Amino acid sequence: MKVAYWPGCVSRGFTPELHGAMAAVAPLLDIDLIELDRASCCGAGVIAEHNQELADTLNARTFALAQQTDGALMMNICSTCQGAQSECQERLDANAVYREHINATISSEGLHYEQGVTNKNLLWLLVEDIGLDTVRQKVKRPLTNLRVGPFYGCYIIRPAARIGIDADHPRHTYLEQLIDALGGTVIDYAGSHKCCGFPIITMNKTASLKQAGRHLGDAVDADADCLVTPCPLCHLNLDLQQPLAAAAVGRELGMPVLHLPQLLGLALGLEPKELGLGRHIVKPRSVIDWSQSVVAAAAA
Amino acid sequence: MPEHDVLIIGAGLAGQRAALAAAQNGVSVAIMSKVHPVRSHSVAAAGGINAAIDVSDDWRSHAYDTVKGSDFLGDQDAIEVMCREAPGEVMHLEHIGVTFHRNERGELDLRAFGGASINRTAYVADITGQAILHVLYEQLLKHSSVVARYEEWFTTSLIIDDDGACVGVVARDIRSGRIETFAAKSVILASGGAGQCFKPTTNALICTADGMAQAYRAGAPLMDMEMIQYHPTTLAENGFLITEGARGEGAHLLNKDGERFMSKSAPNKMELASRDVVSRAEQTEINEGRGVGADGKGIYLDITVVPRKRTLEALREIVNIGKDFAGVDITREPIIIQPGQHYIMGGVKTDIDGQTPITGLYAAGEVACVSVHGGNRLGANSLLDTLIFGRRSGEHAAQRALSTPVPRISDTALRRDAKMIEEIIARPRSGRRVSEIKEELGTTMNSHCAVFRDGPGLQSAYETVRRLKEEAAHAYIDDSGTVFNQDVLGAIELGYMLDTAETIVAAAIERTESRGAQFRTDFPERNDAEWLKHINTTRGANGEPEISYSPVTITQWQPEERKY
Amino acid sequence: MDGVIVVEPMGNMPVIKDLIVDMDAVHWQKIRSVTPWLINREPVPEREYLVAREAMVDVTQSMACIQCGACVSDCLAMEVDPEFVGPAALAKAYRFVGDPRDDEPFERLRHLAENPDGMYSCTHCFKCVDACPKGVNPMGQIMRLRRIAGDDYKIEDRNNGYRHEQAFVKNIRANGLLHEADLLPDSYGGKFHPRAIPELLASLPVVIRGLLRRKITPAKALLHPHKAPKPLQAIFDQIESEPKRYELNLYVSGDDKDNETAGAVTEGAKR
């Protein structure tokens, strides 16, 4: 399927492996990515707390760019983008006067946002549009015996009503469903739906690092081989900052954190290197060892 | 032993307002409540507060509406005081921070309410009681250096000295189980109503008639106890209150034929007749087979006639109640309601300064009977009553304290109450459970002491209450601990409820006429010649209520036929 | 889920007995810390203060708080930072900051901004939004406190809240996409700001590891690979120069689809 693709900032900044992994995985799932290269940062909630109208205008612009493509919908690969954009969309869709005020601003670029864009994170697309049965069929290397802890990121699961979680769309369970569909073992630990702490890393560093450290520690205690997250900002705090987080909670962590497309790619048969696993701060040794053992077993 | 000039029991609107008023008079004040103050039942008052604020309104009009609403049983001197002081009180609330909704000019917006001849109800969406309660609590926090707070302390009895004056209370710290004597020059009862004597009720679990029974046991008369208000719109599922504000905003009542039946009994005011009239009309529809719902015991409240946006802004709470507890979107479809116990007009008899006949003992709010509500209270007059008479009680009690010596108290009452609690905890498990007796009391009262009453039904209720009193003396509880032992408090509350229910039924038997909320099918007419008077119940030597009468004060409005 | 409901005492508060927690020690202590009463704007009028209709509807959202403590119980920031003033108290603070009758919004905001466990310690996790049974949206109120503190009063707090926000906006205006390498130093006041140096040194090991893993390339850290297109910058300039922020408040405005007059939807009444 063809999608208007919003990769977000961080996947092209501090987590380039995410952008690469998505590009590698897309063809295997028959996802045709039309990258929105003129679009801007979603504001990550920070611009909205500075000026709501500015955040809404930036995202209306992004939505309008998506609507100009022939993609079936707009797709993102970042929990924070999903949440921040959903919040703006809620306002834009609720009030025609406001929407047209914003549209007047972006009209200078010949853009116009039509109420009701469909904007989905890759995770939602996999479960709701591609379907886990299809994904299951495409698995080349089941994640057998790989113990994976889900880490959602707040923005993609809360607030439940805005995020569209209901009985028909249990989006707060999709990561577990996906890990299971890929053949992996879901690890249940306390931090899976909690906050990584990233938003306050510059304001209250101790608290921020403690959050990351605790969740990672809980995953270690639950014997996880790795975590998987659809949020590159969570990845920054959980992986890039992990050495500091370990210091903040006073324990060894060493917990690899994978981006969602990386985990997906492994199961679809891609090699750790192709997926940029070597670019993480915490070397995903357990995952690489696992994949090598699978390859070795297959060869034997 | 803690000593205070003024000690207030109960921290709802009346209690908090009394505390703030007393503190402004330069005396030492304490306020005590069995729950955290913001859990007080005032929080449930939804629709608003009446005051003749509008330039085209006049306090006399408000007073007349109130007198008429009371079915001429209200004391007009007290009603005049309340209505005259109402605008000033509402402005005071506005100044201390209540977020009253505004009109387009930025002035207080006023909504229509039952029995009112003009829009005079100031409001905060449908959380007016909550908003005022929380703002008063903000003021208590602001003035915490002059008002001591005993939060989660349960009063077990009033202390009466040898001269018959109230000089303090005995109370138990719910958190620790410690029991203590408090000395006070003046005690103000502000402990709320008696709704839990009925099941179902709109009242919170804490509304267990504590203050009424404590005063009654101390020898104070209870007045107008037969006057029990059934609110016209309580949720059929569970008795939750659906604010009168809904009808104030324009909602209709419909029977199973889709007929606005209020046209029969109140052709002018329709759904906004006084509550006794509307509840009776509904019950008549139900009794005559025109009710709705599975059991035919409901009535449709149709809020869909109110613009949806207005409902979502001004009636937010009941939108949620409909959704959460009845599965109904009230902006899209009618909701099934029925009359349900809501308020007691009667209470501890007081004068316009909150003084009871017991020296040093005051009462204000639902626990009291001034009487401003007489046979039927108008919607949005209860918040006003609590604030006006709470303030007046606080002021008067403070003034009195300035010229009163600190009372000297023995620990007799303390020892008696401590023993009583030990005795409850030690009861063998041979009798009935406290909760069973409470359940039977509630359903009995709701069967025989409701919208329509008759002699035989009331008589059987009286006998049931007498029997339950005997059973309650041996009723057992499960928790024998000290920390947060709600069980033992429940047993004490049951005693309060039974004493109070007994006076309610006795007064209802006594009044052989129909007036306000008391409708006797065996005496269906109002009878001014014999019954334009208050019924007082006092605890007799044998423990049964003794009846006496007091006159109704009439200033400028002679009784006339009531039409809406 | 399999018909089992797990009931446990509220979080972030000490348990007294069974399900009873000490709300006074945590929840109420935090409420008391925000000067929770109106400080009247003078002169106090004889009648009511004349204020905008919308303003009173707006503060009613935080007035709707029943002080149940559910948001405090669920707060993820408080879980790691018990001193955090928390969602309920901050929503209460907005009830005054947003009240046009209050005389000291600036002082209130300055206090909350300067407090190291104040409004900039909210991690934006939305837990309180979902926990609240009354639709108070505490996190939304916190964001408004930040917006007013930063944008209306320009309160430069020692917690870098204001600078972080300014740096972020500047960063996006310049680059279109977030350029992380600039964000950190700018959040501390710029690369050469004395405040920035210890922070940058502290994060040096992270940067070195990033370089080693080719996550952060020297070119990426120093050069700006993106430039914001001109029309995008124009959007920033236009909106930032508006004399007053245009803020749609859904609590006040509702949703368009709610504006219809339902009229006689009395079909149900005739069932």
pLDDT by residue (tens digit) across C163-193? 999 999 999 999 999 988 888 778 887 766 7
Assess contact for A13 and C179: CB atoms under 8 A. Answer: yes
**C42 to chain B: closest CA residue:** B95
pLDDT for C260? 61
- What six digits make up the tokens of C225? 């690979």
Q: What is the pLDDT of residue C220?
A: 63
- Look over chain B and give the mean of its residue pLDDT values, rounded to a whole number: 97
CB contact at 8 A, A172 and A179:
no
Instruction: Tell me the one-letter amino acid at B408.
Output: R
A300 band by pLDDT with thresholds 50, 70 and 90? low
Length of chain C: 271
Q: Which of C52, C63, C261 sits opposite B99 (nearest CB)?
A: C63
Q: Position of tokens 């005492």? A: C9
Predicted local distance difference test score (pLDDT) of residue A212: 98
- B300 interfacial to chain C (CB closer than 8 Å): yes
Round to whole Å and give the CA distance between B15 and B35: 13
The β-bridge partners of B157 are: B170
Across-strand partners of A150? Answer: A228
At A265 the three-state DSSP class reads helix
Distance CA A267, CA C78 (A): 38
From B120, B149, B231, B511, the catalytic residue: B231
Q: How close does chain C come to B500, measured CA to CA in Å?
A: 30
Look at residue C57 and give its three-state secondary structure: helix
* C265 band by pLDDT with thresholds 50, 70 and 90: very low
CB of C53 within 8 Å of a chain B CB? The answer is: yes
Instruction: Give the active site residue among B62, B247, B400, B520.
Output: B247
Instruction: Supply the Cα-derived Rg of chain A in whole angstroms.
Output: 19
3-state secondary structure of C125: coil
Q: What's residue C219's pLDDT?
A: 64
| Tens digit of each residue's pLDDT (9 = 90 or more) over B66-91 | 999 999 999 999 999 999 999 999 99
Q: Is A77 exposed, middle or buried (0-12, 13-18, 19+ CB in 10 A)?
A: buried
- C266 pLDDT tier (thresholds 50, 70, 90): very low
DSSP string for C81-147: -TT--HHHHHHHHHHHHT-TTBS-HHHHHHHHHHSTTSGGG-----HHHHH-TT---HHHHHHHHHH
CB contact under 8 A, A12 and C236: no
Which of the 8 DSSP states describes residue B484? T
pLDDT tier, A189 (very low <50, low <70, confident <90, very high otherwise): very high
pLDDT at C263: 41
Residue B297 has pLDDT above 50, yes or no: yes
d(CA B397, CA C72): 39
CB contact under 8 A, C81 and A210: yes
Catalytic residue check, B448: no
Model confidence, pTM: 0.95
Instruction: For residues B188 and B204, give the distance between their C-alpha atoms in angstroms, rounded to a whole number.
Output: 21
| pLDDT mean over B145-167 | 97
CA distance A204 to A188: 28
Q: What is the mean pLDDT of residues B223-240?
A: 96
Bridge partners, residue B6, by sequence: B29, B186
Confidence band of B17 (pLDDT split at 50, 70, 90): very high
Residue A4, pLDDT above cutoff 70? yes
Residue C235 at interface with chain A, using a CB cutoff of 8 Å: yes
CA-to-CA separations, C201 to A44, A196, A255, C35, C243, in angstroms, rounded? 26, 23, 24, 38, 40
At A289, the amino acid letter reads D
**Angstrom distance (rounded) from CA A133 to CA B219:** 78
Percent of the residues in chain C that have a pLDDT greater than 90, as a whole number: 72
**CA-to-CA distance for C72 and C122, rounded, in angstroms?**
12
Nearest to B167 by CA among B181, B151, B178: B181
Against chain A, the chains showing at least 3 CB pairs within 8 Å are C
pLDDT at C257: 83
What chain B holds in terms of domains, given with CATH numbers, is 3-227+343-402 (3.50.50.60), 236-339 (3.90.700.10), 412-551 (1.20.58.100)
Q: Please state whether beta strands B147-151 and B29-33 pair in parallel, antiparallel, or not at all (unpaired).
A: parallel
Residues A167-177: pLDDT tens digits? 999 999 999 99
B124 to chain C nearest CA, in Å? 7
User: Does residue C216 register a pLDDT over 90?
Assistant: no
Whether CATH 1.20.1300.10 fits C7-42+50-159:
no
Name every chain C residue with its beta carbon within 8 A of the beta carbon of B93.
Answer: none
The single-letter code of the amino acid at A119 is N
Per the DSSP assignment, residues forming a β-bridge with A166 are A169
Report pLDDT for B79: 98
Are residues C48 and B43, on separate chains, in Cβ contact within 8 Å? Answer: no
Residue B236 has a pLDDT of 93
pLDDT tens track for B90-103: 999 999 999 999 99
Number of Cβ within 10 Å of residue B108's Cβ equals 25
- Concatenating the DSSP letter of every residue in C191-209 gives TTSTTHHHHHHHHHHHHHH
Residue B97 C-alpha, separation from nearest chain C C-alpha, in angstroms: 6
In this structure, are strands A119-121 and A73-76 parallel, antiparallel, or unpaired?
parallel
Q: Which residues contact B445 (CB under 8 A, 6 or more apart)?
A: B197, B198, B199, B341, B461, B501, B504, B505
**Active-site residue B231, yes or no?**
yes
Please report which confidence band the pLDDT of residue C271 belongs to, taking 50, 70 and 90 as the band edges.
very low
CB-based contact (8 Å) between C204 and chain A? no
A263-293 pLDDT per residue, tens: 999 999 999 999 999 999 999 988 888 888 8
Determine the residue among A6, A12, A14, A173 to mutate to test chain C binding: the one whose Cβ has the most chain C Cβ atoms within 10 Å: A14
Q: Which amino acid is at B469?
A: K
Whether chain B lies against chain A with 3 or more Cβ pairs closer than 8 A is no
Q: Measure B50 CA to nearest chain C CA, in Å.
A: 15
What spatial distance separates the first Cα and last Cα of chain B, rounded to whole Å?
Answer: 55
pLDDT number for residue A218: 98
C268–B127 CB contact, under 8 Å? no
Does the structure show a pLDDT above 80 at B240?
A: yes
Q: What is the DSSP string of A186-206?
A: EPP-TTTTS--SGGGTTT-HH
Does a cis peptide bond (omega within 30 degrees of 0) precede residue C43?
yes
Q: What is the ipTM of this complex?
A: 0.94
Query: What are B254's strand-pairing partners?
Result: B300
Do residues A257 and A196 make contact, with C-beta atoms less than 8 angstroms apart?
A: no
Segment A219-277, tens digit of pLDDT: 999 999 999 999 999 999 999 999 999 999 999 999 999 999 999 999 999 999 999 99
Q: Which of B553, A295, B138 is nearest to C59 (CA)?
A: B138
Indicate the DSSP class of residue B220: P
Assess A173–C contact: CB distance below 8 Å, yes or no.
no
Contact A53 C239 (CB under 8 A): yes
Q: Percentage of chain C surpassing pLDDT 70?
A: 87
The pLDDT tens digits for B110-148 are 999 999 999 999 999 999 999 999 999 999 999 999 999
Domain with CATH 1.10.1060.10 in chain C: 7-42+50-159
**N-to-C CA span, chain C:** 35
* Chain C nearest C-alpha distance from A188 (Å): 16
Give me the residue from A54, A108, A195 closest to C236, CB to CB.
A54
At B523, the pLDDT band (50, 70, 90 cuts) reads: very high
Does residue B371 have a cis peptide bond before it, meaning omega lies within 30 degrees of 0? yes
When scoring A42, A46, A86, A99 by the number of chain C Cβ atoms within 10 A, the one with the most, hence best to mutate, is A46
User: Two tokens at C161?
Assistant: 């809240």
Q: Which residue(s) pair with B3 in the sheet?
A: B183
Q: Which of B557, B537, B185, C152 is nearest to A49 (CA)?
A: C152
Alpha carbon distance B342, B232 (integer Å)? 9
Res C264: pLDDT: 37
Q: Which of residues 114-143 of C touch A (CB under 8 A)?
A: 116-117, 120-127, 129-130, 143
pLDDT of residue C191: 66
Q: In angstroms, rounded to a whole number, what is the distance separating the alpha carbons of residues B225 and B500?
A: 8
Per-residue pLDDT reduced to its tens digit, B427-469: 999 999 999 999 999 999 999 999 999 999 999 999 999 999 9
pLDDT of residue C1: 53
Is residue A230 within 8 A of residue A77, CB to CB? The reply is yes
To the nearest whole Å, the CA of A282 is away from the closest chain C CA by 10
Q: Which residues of C touch B308 (CB under 8 A)?
A: 258-262
Q: What is the pLDDT of residue A288?
A: 87
Facing A202 at nearest CB: one of C187, C228, C255: C187
Chain C, 76 to 115: residues with Cβ < 8 Å from chain B are: 95-96, 99, 101
Amino acid identity, residue C84?
F
* Token pair for C251: 């609590």
Residues ≥6 apart with Cβ < 8 Å to A297 = none
Q: Helix B455-472 crosses helix B434-448 at what angle (to 10 degrees)?
A: 170
Q: What number is the average pLDDT over the span A97-108? A: 97
